[in-house]
Amino acid sequence: MATEASEIEREIERAAESLPPPETLAALARRRLARELRALPSEGSAAWRAALLAEAPAGASLGALAHAIRASARAGRMDEARELFVALLRRTDGLNRRWVATALRGLPGAPDERRERAQDLAQELALALWRRVGLGDDPAWELFFQRALDFTQRKVATTWLRRQGLRADPRVERAERGLALVFSQFEENAPETALPVEPEAATLASADLADLRALVQRLPERERLAVVMRYWQRAGEAEIAAALGVTTRATRYILRRAYRRLRLWYAGASDEGASDE
Amino acid sequence: MSDTFNGQDDGALDLDALAVQERFLEEWRAGKRPRLSAYLRRYPQHAAALAALVAALPPDTLAGTAQEPLAESFPERLWTGAGVARALAEIFGPEPAGHEAPRVAEERAPYQTPADDAPRDE
């Protein structure tokens, strides 16, 4: 057992050592963007616009498009900025629709009302994007556009829901659905491998996955990391223990506490008692 | 929610956290099954951002049984809808006469699998 744990520890160490420092990753992204921008025709020309508006995948990256929108707005070429900004909204429409569906999931309302809410959210997001991409100067939007978009979508949804008097995670109060399958994989004495999942049950699990994601984000950091490693990556106790720098016994305790907290939240209760053993 | 964010609402995002997330995603997209444990060891300062990213991906516990269905997608295009039109009017003023929307293809979502590619509403 101890040998297995130390082998896992060594594997993690080896994998970690192969990862470059964050500043190197950011520098690589900078170089990639600079290369792409250099390859474009001169800024503001018709050829430049055409290159930026070209169909993907031959077209510019979203980061280059963000760069161009900013450049156009700064130069006061607002018609051009508008055209490029609309192109950006169109290219990210798939991501934005998925985000809207997730944000509105679980909210009550007739179809018309949901459509109106979706349009409200789309408006909020477009305005937020303009502030960040068109007016701001945060390089994240040029270097890691999709990650920055993902983060901003979450911020916009949370703020919007709060303003509407709605909870950011309404499922917390709506615990009527059973989560037997999800929690069967969390059982304290379950073997290291996941239980077999029937296709029908997998659908249930995936439907409940959004609930689980919302709740996992509320866990204290160590419990959150342990649950994400255990459920999302099927990590064993030894791997989790090595990653958190604790013993396997402590890992079991952390997981038990997290599951108890999640169960209580699903039941609509506060997390009082979650830390009791 | 301070996982990749520095400061106030319109403040700068944490470039290093985004770079680390992107590295993880690149490996994941390439089917390399990167381990969160190794990333936590290497980048402990970005633990929250990494956990949020991994939790947004389909869990390995569903692998080999059934693919996680795409989250219920919103069927209507947003970029041509009333919400975006209102935002554009607020930012740029009324739409110029004779203006035509540019034709640009949507980019594939970062977590999209080939099976999810089928419905495109271009």
| pLDDT tens-digit readout, B11-67 | 678 999 999 999 999 999 898 889 999 999 999 999 999 999 998 888 776 555 444
Residue of B nearest to A243 (CA): B37
For residue A265, the tally of other CB atoms under 10 A from its CB is 23
State the pLDDT at residue B47.
95
State the pLDDT at residue A203.
46
Say if B106 is an interface residue toward chain A (CB within 8 Å): yes
Give the integer Cα–Cα distance in Å for A35 and A49: 17
Largest CA distance in chain B: 57
A115 compared with A206, residue with greater pLDDT: A115
Contact B13 A155 (CB under 8 A): no
pLDDT at position A174 over 70: no
- Say if CB A88 and CB A96 are below 8 A apart: no
- Per-residue pLDDT reduced to its tens digit, A21-67: 999 999 999 999 999 999 999 999 999 999 999 876 677 999 999 99
**A244: which chain B residues are within 8 Å (Cβ-Cβ)?**
40
Give the integer Cα–Cα distance in Å for A92 and B78: 10
| CA dihedral of residues A264, A270, A274, A275 (deg, nearest 10) | 170
Give the integer Cα–Cα distance in Å for B79 and A254: 44
The ipTM value here is 0.78
- Say if CB A154 and CB B5 are below 8 A apart: no
- Selected residue of B2, B8, B13 to mutate for chain A interface (largest A Cβ count, 10 A): B13
- Percent of chain A residues past pLDDT 70, beyond the cut: 77
Give the integer Cα–Cα distance in Å for A241 and A257: 15
**B23: which chain A residues are within 8 Å (Cβ-Cβ)?**
19-20, 25
Name residue A72's amino acid: S
In the predicted model, what is the mean pLDDT of chain B? 73
Say if A83 is an interface residue toward chain B (CB within 8 Å): yes
State the pLDDT at residue A206.
53
Say if B46 is an interface residue toward chain A (CB within 8 Å): yes
In the predicted model, what is the mean pLDDT of chain A? 82
State the pLDDT at residue A88.
96
The DSSP output letter for A217 is T
Chains A and B form CB pairs within 8 A to the count of 274
Of B10, B40, B106, nearest to A132 by CB-CB distance is B10
Say if A131 is an interface residue toward chain B (CB within 8 Å): yes
Give the A window 185-244 contacts with B, CB below 8 Å.
185, 194, 196-199, 202-203, 205-206, 209-210, 213, 216-217, 221, 224-225, 228-229, 231-235, 239-240, 242-244
User: Which stretch of DSSP H or E encloses residue A67?
Assistant: helix A62-74
Contact A12 B48 (CB under 8 A): no
- Per-residue pLDDT reduced to its tens digit, A97-136: 988 888 887 777 788 888 899 999 999 999 999 999 999 9
- Percent of chain A residues past pLDDT 90, beyond the cut: 53
Contact B66 A199 (CB under 8 A): yes
My answer on whether omega of the bond before B75 falls inside 30° of 0, hence cis, is no
- Per-residue pLDDT reduced to its tens digit, A219-253: 999 999 999 998 888 898 999 999 999 999 999 99
pLDDT at position A168 over 80: no
My answer on whether omega of the bond before A57 falls inside 30° of 0, hence cis, is yes
State the pLDDT at residue A178.
37
Say if B5 is an interface residue toward chain A (CB within 8 Å): yes
Write down the pTM of the prediction: 0.78
Name residue A226's amino acid: A
Nearest to A83 by CA among A94, A73, A93, A95: A73
Contact A243 B71 (CB under 8 A): no
> In the beta sheet, which residues pair with residue B13?
B5
pLDDT at position B110 over 90: no
pLDDT at position B122 over 50: no
Give the integer Cα–Cα distance in Å for A147 and A127: 18
